Amino acid sequence: MAEIDFVGPLHSRTKRDYVGRVVDHDKAACAEVAKRYGKDYWDGERQYGYGGYHYDGRWCPVAEAMAAHYKLKPGDRILDIGCGKGYLLYEFTQVMPGVTVAGIDISRYGIDNAKDEVKPFLKVGSCTKLPYDDRSFDFVCSLGTFHNLYNHQLKSAIHEMQRVGRERKYICVESYRNEREKANLLYWQLTCETFLTPEEWHWLLGEYSYDGDYGFIFFE
């Protein structure tokens, strides 16, 4: 396993008012709405989630960096666990024409409103029980999804990722390195269920026999 930061530059582009997140609205009520992963979460007001999640090319540099690092080539099969509207998968098809993509997400709304070019390759489902054959993907990634699982669900999700993937895998989750980042994460998050330090995530992934790479999102 190696720690690699593919998402940090994209994450840091957004300025966040952490205190405002908890005082301007009823945070608990907003989180309840967000966890339905419906229209409000993706395309509603900002207090419920993305505040409008539309294609703007932001995932292209991430796909480029991943394709280069993992030496993806035409004919490779790529799976995105927690694919949302499929924007990262679409970028993979542009960065490396000839790859085959697949995605799965718990959100019916996200899949129904996915980018048209990749929508036929996306499914609604849970990462704890993937509807794919053993070792059927050359590269499997999951960005911003596994921290939304409860602790007791992580073992199944990681084992499933191991099962369907071959050598190349990448997980990115929200985490914290100090009390300030911990407070900011608690203020900002709407759907996070597992709050762990990088050291704890590293230990957990090892305990569940994960052999891919990983990265973190920090709220500085």
Range(s) of the domain holding residue 120: 8-217
Assess if residue 94 is contained within a domain: yes
Q: Which pLDDT tens digit goes with each residue over 88-134?
A: 999 999 999 999 999 999 999 999 999 999 999 999 999 999 999 99
For the chain, give the mean pLDDT: 97
Q: What's residue 34's pLDDT? A: 98
Assess if residue 123 is contained within a domain: yes
Q: What's residue 196's pLDDT? A: 98
Q: Which pLDDT tens digit goes with each residue over 179-195?
A: 999 999 999 999 999 99
Assess if residue 1 is contained within a domain: no
* Residue 9, SS3 per DSSP: helix
Total domain count, the chain: 1
Q: What's residue 63's pLDDT? A: 98
Q: What is the mean pLDDT of residues 196-220?
A: 97
Assess if residue 15 is contained within a domain: yes
Assess if residue 2 is contained within a domain: no
Q: What's residue 65's pLDDT? A: 98
Assess if residue 121 is contained within a domain: yes
Assess if residue 3 is contained within a domain: no
pLDDT interval class at 32 (50, 70, 90):
very high
Q: Which pLDDT tens digit goes with each residue over 14-24?
A: 999 999 999 99
Q: How far apart are CA 108 and CA 182, in angstroms?
A: 31
Assess if residue 54 is contained within a domain: yes
Q: What is the mean pLDDT of residues 143-156?
A: 98
Q: What's residue 106's pLDDT? A: 98
The domain that holds 159 is classified in CATH as 3.40.50.150
Q: What's residue 9's pLDDT? A: 94
Q: What's residue 123's pLDDT? A: 98
Measured at the CA of 147, the angle between CA 133 and CA 217, to 5 degrees, comes to: 110
Q: What's residue 47's pLDDT? A: 97
Q: Which pLDDT tens digit goes with each residue over 52-68?
A: 999 999 999 999 999 99
Q: Which pLDDT tens digit goes with each residue over 160-183?
A: 999 999 999 999 999 999 999 999
Q: How far apart are CA 135 and CA 139, in angstroms?
A: 10
* Residue 98, SS3 per DSSP: coil
DSSP 163-213: HHEEEEEEEEEE--SSHHHHHHHHHH-SS------HHHHHHHHHHTT--SE
pLDDT interval class at 199 (50, 70, 90):
very high
Q: What's residue 200's pLDDT? A: 98
